[in-house]
């Protein structure tokens, strides 16, 4: 008895029997599931077929020993695995090999983009490595017309039974330009098959090793794809080297495959283009590796790593294949050749645009390298961080960061692993911009010569500036997600028609977001932004959800308004107010109904007064609150209007809370009243004030929306090249200023960012100095503040600026603009007067 038990336990301890046992359990679960879900008689036949397919699949995958004919060759092993299931291959893999359609959509979008921008000089050639039954090639038809788009398509696969299925498929479809080649991926050479190569060369190419430097094929593939085949090729180094040489210098490679990886392996790499969900848990790593080994599928992370090392990353994402409640990790990679010949030259060009320095042509650069004296002087030149990083990568023979392989280098490389970027937890705070773009336009009068640096926020105002066609716009934000949002807007203008742009950003919902992202917007996004939106876009824009404007930190404010509306029964009044056709009608609804509730004292003290809420919902830090409190105290002390206006006292030099807890609540309440009352009293929500309309109803209307959402704006911004003057920086303002060439900018829009500095800290002075250095003479700074007379204006005055308050909420009740959220608006102009 004891020996029987011991024997049993020994059997169970053997990993193979464990996996077999697990397989049987899985099969039983699947059977039960299928039986239970198909109770209708008419479905029994379908069930039987499915069962037969999955039964054969399960048998060949997990139970049938596949040893080949003992010659040890890979082809025999493959045949023993695939010959009995070639006919049911497609039916059984549809659920398991997920992401193939997405990969094809992504490379298809890249090719279409190249065609539309005249980057394809001839019809492209596509090679599908390990293409199996040719499913991918038929699937591609939903993206492109395979027969007319491609000059030729090669399916290369080592399994003759799968090749046979593929041949039958293309015979049935009648596609003459598709060629099925039953050959090892490591020896396949395009020049052996493409016409135009004479016989002597053909002989030569067969014996040519892929490892040699000049081994690149004379004929290159414009598209190379590998779906779930890389993990099946035992010697992957030579296979990847071989496809590297197969790719034409301008070609694209797309890979989708299973993987497992621990974060310590990729943590220090700056070229992988984003790592959301890349790390796999220990259980998952061990289990999936062992499981797939049974099928000779190798999930070892070195395969993916080597792909990323050999190619430049354009897009990269990590997904999970959901199957019967399990989650198998897989990745999609889209890359290009990692040419190094021209890299430095390209880097210089990108860097010049980032730092606004004049671009030194390659010849000058050459002269500089030859002449050590000139070189020394150029080393004091300011370089962007992106440039410095790229140079280090080149020096250590690594690929450049993904940002350098984008078709339009709008987004500038940043180190996403830094804590200062990660503190935002992949969430933007503002889903919409909370500064009046019309006032900005009136105050700034942007012309074609202006070089603007502005905070990104939600990007709405950046797009408004772009409508004026300035020479260049630098959008800066420390929070990567804010920049992802701007990138999405830019990509939408570059690739979608007005209806879709309106649905995305006017309504905030779209029923086909994922399709638009993969097929249209992906060529225009950085890898990080693409990855972000692939993960979060579908829930964000889901038509049955609440839409874009109920995401991000600002959703708390919208939620509160909507919640109060329902709770206190003024939801209808809020809607009526947003539909009122005249100011009088609007004022009446406001005063009689809405105001009473929204501005109740109760709310002011208990909700708005709490620091946590303020920070989360409105983004108000304690330094800003101190200003509000002091201005309030001063108003109480000196009620006469002229006294306040003339007062030179600075706001915000004290500590928050210094005025006492009750006063502090009152101050905030008063600030809120002074924001809302004049705005509602003076601007019409139904037609003119989309800012408050959005807050009350959570959406824009066709009549009332930001400038960049008009059909006219779409025509302007959708023109090719219309947004090429935009550069998106992810860093602190101070860092970006520090890397700019002196006197490069004409306008800096700082919003209320300086309110966040502490009056005792050195930041304000340093920032004013940096702005002075970067601005041209006569250049202007536009900023807003919660204080009437912010303390840091002195810093500007001491650093060569003339400051002017162009709007203020004095006397109380004044409406400064449609948002009316800030107590004062300032323009600081750089003048030479200090020097003279
Ligand atoms: C899991 S299948 C994927 C097939 C197809 N790409 C798909 O997505 O359905 C892996 C394929 O790689 C092929 N393969 C494995 N090693 C190969 C090699 N050395 N050269 C060419 N093909 C190979 C196998 O024959 C098999 O068809
Ligand atoms: C953006 O892409 C277009 C088309 O490839 C190109 O003409 C343009 O120069 C690119 N702009 C930048 C800034 O790279
Ligand atoms: C609203 O505007 C009207 C007319 O401009 C003015 O008479 C009234 O005092 C204002 N009310 C408030 C609360 O500001
Ligand atoms: C402001 O910048 C200019 C150069 O653009 C410089 O000459 C001047 O000294 C700076 N002013 C101060 C106060 O630093």
Is the pLDDT score of 318 beyond 60?
yes
- What's the pLDDT at 531? 97
**Is residue 36 domain-resident?**
no
Split at pLDDT 50, 70, 90, the class of 612 is: low
3-state SS, 372-391, equals: HHHHHHHCCCCCCHHHHHHH
Q: Distance from the CA of 368 to the center of ligand 1, in angstroms? A: 51
Q: Are residues 505 and 565 part of one domain?
A: no
Of 656, 676, 697, the position where a domain reaches its end is: 697
What mean pLDDT do residues 707-721 have?
95
What mean pLDDT do residues 483-503 have?
97
Q: What is the CATH number of the domain that holds 507?
A: 3.40.50.150
Indicate whether residue 110 lines ligand 2 (CB < 6 A).
no
Domain count of the chain?
Answer: 4
The percentage of residues in the chain with a pLDDT greater than 90, rounded to a whole number, is 56
* For the CA of 674, the nearest ligand: 3
Q: Distance from the CA of 596 to the center of ligand 3, in angstroms? A: 17
Q: Are residues 250 and 104 part of one domain?
A: yes
Place of tokens 């045949």: 79
- What's the pLDDT at 693? 93
pLDDT digits (tens, 9 = 90+) for 420-462: 999 999 999 999 998 999 999 999 999 999 999 999 999 999 9
**Is residue 620 domain-resident?**
yes
Token digits of residue 791 = 């303390």
To test the pocket of ligand 3, the residue of 681, 683, 811 to mutate (highest count of ligand atoms within 8 Å of its CB) is: 681
Q: Distance from the CA of 234 to the center of ligand 1, in angstroms? A: 11
Contacts of 394 (CB under 8 A, 6+ apart): 340, 343, 344, 347, 400
* For the CA of 724, the nearest ligand: 2
Task: Check: CB of residue 528 under 8 Å from CB of residue 479.
Answer: no
Q: Distance from the CA of 398 to the center of ligand 2, in angstroms? A: 25
Range of the domain at 394: 343-401
Query: Of 230, 276, 280, whose CA–CA distance to 253 is shortest?
Result: 230
Indicate whether residue 813 lines ligand 3 (CB < 6 A).
yes
Burial class of residue 814 in the structure, from the number of CB atoms within 10 Å of its CB (0-12 exposed, 13-18 middle, 19+ buried): middle
To test the pocket of ligand 1, the residue of 92, 136, 158 to mutate (highest count of ligand atoms within 8 Å of its CB) is: 158
- What's the pLDDT at 375? 40
Atom number, ligand 1, closest to the C-alpha of residue 185:
20
Atom number, ligand 4, closest to the C-alpha of residue 799:
13
Atom number, ligand 3, closest to the C-alpha of residue 681:
1
Residues making up the chain, counted from first to last: 836
pLDDT digits (tens, 9 = 90+) for 101-159: 999 999 999 999 999 998 888 899 999 999 999 999 999 999 999 999 999 999 999 99
Q: Distance from the CA of 599 to the center of ligand 3, in angstroms? A: 17
pLDDT digits (tens, 9 = 90+) for 469-491: 999 999 999 999 999 999 999 99
Q: Are residues 670 and 751 part of one domain?
A: no
Helix (H, G, I), strand (E, B) or coil at 777: strand
What mean pLDDT do residues 233-243 have?
91
Q: Distance from the CA of 609 to the center of ligand 4, in angstroms? A: 42
Q: Distance from the CA of 669 to the center of ligand 3, in angstroms? A: 19
Distance CA 166, CA 774 (A): 62
Q: Distance from the CA of 166 to the center of ligand 1, in angstroms? A: 12
- What's the pLDDT at 730? 96
Q: Are residues 304 and 236 part of one domain?
A: yes
To test the pocket of ligand 2, the residue of 405, 721, 726 to mutate (highest count of ligand atoms within 8 Å of its CB) is: 721
Q: Are residues 289 and 172 part of one domain?
A: yes
Q: Any idea which of 69-83, 155-169, 461-475 has the lowest mean pLDDT?
A: 69-83
Of 320, 337, 354, the position where a domain reaches its end is: 337
DSSP character at residue 174? T
Is the pLDDT score of 834 beyond 70?
no
What distance separates the 2 farthest-apart alpha carbons in the chain? 105
**Is residue 531 domain-resident?**
no
Atom number, ligand 2, closest to the C-alpha of residue 724:
13
Query: Of 603, 507, 498, whose CA–CA distance to 550 is shortest?
Result: 507
Spell out a b/e string for 386-398, using b for 16 or more CB atoms within 10 Å of the CB, else e. Answer: bbebbbebeeeeb
**Is residue 643 domain-resident?**
yes
Q: Are residues 737 and 588 part of one domain?
A: no
**Is residue 423 domain-resident?**
no
Nearest CA to ligand 4 atom 3: 773
* For the CA of 830, the nearest ligand: 4
Q: Are residues 153 and 136 part of one domain?
A: yes
Q: Are residues 279 and 138 part of one domain?
A: yes
Task: Check: CB of residue 549 under 8 Å from CB of residue 508.
Answer: yes
Higher-pLDDT residue of 371, 594:
594
Query: Of 818, 827, 543, 549, whose CA–CA distance to 689 is shortest?
Result: 818
Atom number, ligand 3, closest to the C-alpha of residue 678:
14
> What are 126's strand-pairing partners?
153, 223
The percentage of residues in the chain with a pLDDT greater than 70, rounded to a whole number, is 82
Query: Of 251, 237, 180, whose CA–CA distance to 209 is shortest?
Result: 237
Q: Are residues 279 and 377 part of one domain?
A: no
Nearest CA to ligand 3 atom 11: 681
**Is residue 419 domain-resident?**
no
Is the pLDDT score of 352 beyond 90?
no
Of 281, 312, 337, the position where a domain reaches its end is: 337
- What's the pLDDT at 624? 84
Higher-pLDDT residue of 400, 619:
400
Is the pLDDT score of 312 beyond 70?
yes
Q: Residues with Cβ within 6 A of ligand 4? A: 743, 769, 772-773, 799-800, 834-835
Indicate whether residue 169 lines ligand 1 (CB < 6 A).
no
Indicate whether residue 678 lines ligand 3 (CB < 6 A).
yes
Q: Are residues 347 and 333 part of one domain?
A: no
pLDDT digits (tens, 9 = 90+) for 737-766: 988 888 999 999 999 889 989 988 899 999
Q: Are residues 455 and 397 part of one domain?
A: no
Helices within 683-786 (DSSP H only):
690-697, 711-718, 733-739, 763-774
Q: Are residues 256 and 273 part of one domain?
A: yes
**Is residue 530 domain-resident?**
no
Helix (H, G, I), strand (E, B) or coil at 321: strand
Report CA-CA distances (Å) from 465 to 207, 392, 408, 446, 716: 59, 35, 20, 7, 12
**Is residue 447 domain-resident?**
yes
């Amino acid at each position: 008895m004891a020996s029987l038990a011991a024997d049993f336990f020994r059997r169970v301890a053997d990993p193979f029997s464990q996996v077999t046992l697990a397989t049987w359990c899985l099969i039983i679960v699947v059977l039960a599931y299928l039986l239970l879900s198909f109770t209708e008689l008419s479905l029994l036949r379908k069930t039987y077929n499915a069962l037969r397919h999955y039964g054969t699949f399960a048998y060949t995958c997990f139970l049938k020993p596949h040893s080949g004919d003992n010659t040890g060759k890979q082809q025999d092993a493959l045949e023993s695995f695939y010959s009995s299931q070639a006919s049911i291959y497609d039916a059984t893999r549809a659920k398991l090999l997920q992401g193939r359609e997405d990969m094809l959509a992504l490379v298809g979008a890249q090719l279409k983009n190249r065609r539309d921008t005249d980057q394809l000089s001839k019809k492209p050639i596509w090679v599908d490595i390990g293409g199996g039954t040719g499913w991918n090639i038929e699937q591609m038809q939903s993206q492109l017309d395979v027969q007319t788009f491609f000059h030729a398509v090669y399916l290369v696969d080592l399994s003759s039974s799968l090749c046979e299925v593929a041949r039958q498929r293309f015979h049935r479809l009648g596609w003459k330009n598709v060629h099925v080649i039953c050959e090892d991926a490591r020896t396949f050479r395009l020049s052996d098959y493409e016409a135009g190569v004479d016989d002597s060369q053909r002989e030569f190419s067969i014996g040519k090793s892929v490892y040699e430097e000049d081994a690149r094929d004379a004929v290159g593939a414009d598209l190379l794809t590998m779906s779930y085949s890389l993990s099946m090729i035992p010697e992957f180094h030579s296979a990847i080297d071989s496809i590297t040489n197969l790719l034409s210098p301008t070609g694209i490679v797309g890979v989708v495959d299973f993987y497992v990886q621990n974060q310590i392996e990729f943590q220090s790499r700056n070229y992988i283009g984003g790592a959301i969900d890349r790390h796999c848990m220990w259980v998952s790593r061990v289990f999936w590796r062992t499981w797939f080994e049974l099928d000779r599928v190798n999930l070892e992370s070195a395969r993916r790593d080597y792909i990323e090392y050999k190619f430049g990353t354009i897009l990269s994402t990590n997904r999970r294949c959901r199957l019967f409640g399990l989650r198998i990790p897989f990745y999609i990679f889209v890359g290009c050749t990692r040419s190094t010949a021209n890299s430095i030259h390209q880097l210089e060009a990108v860097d010049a645009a980032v730092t606004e320095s004049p671009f030194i042509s390659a010849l000058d650069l050459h002269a500089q390298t030859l002449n050590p004296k000139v070189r020394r002087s150029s080393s004091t030149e300011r370089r962007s961080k992106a440039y410095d990083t790229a140079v280090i990568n080149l020096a250590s023979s690594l690929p450049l960061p993904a940002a350098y392989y984008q078709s339009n280098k709008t987004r500038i490389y940043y180190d996403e692993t830094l804590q200062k970027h990660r503190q935002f937890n992949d969430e933007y705070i503002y889903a919409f911009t909370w500064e009046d773009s019309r006032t900005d336009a009136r105050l700034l009068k942007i012309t074609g010569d202006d070089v603007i640096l502005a905070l990104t926020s939600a990007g709405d105002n950046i797009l408004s500036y772009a409508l004026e066609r300035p020479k260049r716009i630098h959008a800066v934000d420390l929070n990567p997600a804010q920049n992802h949002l701007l990138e999405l807007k830019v990509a939408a203008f570059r690739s979608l028609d007005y209806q879709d742009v309106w649905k995305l950003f006017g309504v905030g919902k779209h029923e086909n977001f994922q399709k638009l992202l993969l097929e249209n917007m992906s060529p225009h996004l950085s890898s990080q932004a693409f990855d972000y939106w692939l993960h979060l876009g579908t829930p964000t824009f889901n038509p049955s959800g609440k839409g874009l404007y109920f995401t991000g930190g600002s959703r708390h404010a919208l939620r509160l308004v909507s919640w109060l509306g329902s709770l206190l029964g003024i939801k209808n009044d809020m809607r009526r107010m947003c539909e009122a056709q005249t100011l009088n009608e609007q004022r009446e609804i406001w005063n009689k109904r809405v105001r009473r509730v929204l501005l109740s004292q109760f709310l002011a003290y208990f909700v708005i007064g709490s620091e946590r809420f303020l920070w989360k919902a409105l983004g108000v830090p304690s330094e800003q609150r101190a200003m509000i409190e002091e201005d309030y105290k001063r108003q109480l002390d000196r009620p006469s209007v002229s006294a306040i206006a003339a007062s030179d006292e600075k706001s915000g030099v004290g500590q928050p809370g210094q005025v006492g807890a009750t006063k502090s609540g009152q101050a905030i309440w008063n600030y809120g009243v002074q924001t809302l009352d004049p705005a509602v009293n003076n601007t019409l929500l139904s037609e003119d004030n989309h800012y408050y309309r959005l807050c009350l109803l959570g959406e824009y209307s066709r009549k009332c929306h930001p400038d960049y959402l008009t059909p006219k704006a779409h025509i302007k911004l959708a023109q090719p090249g219309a947004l090429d003057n935009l550069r998106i920086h992810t860093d602190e303002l101070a860092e970006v200023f520090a890397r700019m060439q002196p006197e490069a900018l004409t306008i800096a829009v700082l919003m209320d960012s300086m309110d966040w500095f502490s009056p005792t800290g050195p930041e304000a002075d340093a920032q004013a100095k940096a702005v002075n250095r970067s601005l041209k003479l006569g250049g202007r700074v536009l900023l807003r503040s919660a204080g009437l007379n912010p303390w840091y204006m002195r810093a500007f005055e001491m650093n060569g600026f003339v400051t002017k308050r162009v709007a203020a909420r004095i006397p109380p009740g004044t409406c400064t603009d449609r948002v009316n959220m800030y107590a004062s608006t300032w323009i600081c102009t750089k003048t030479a007067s200090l020097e003279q």
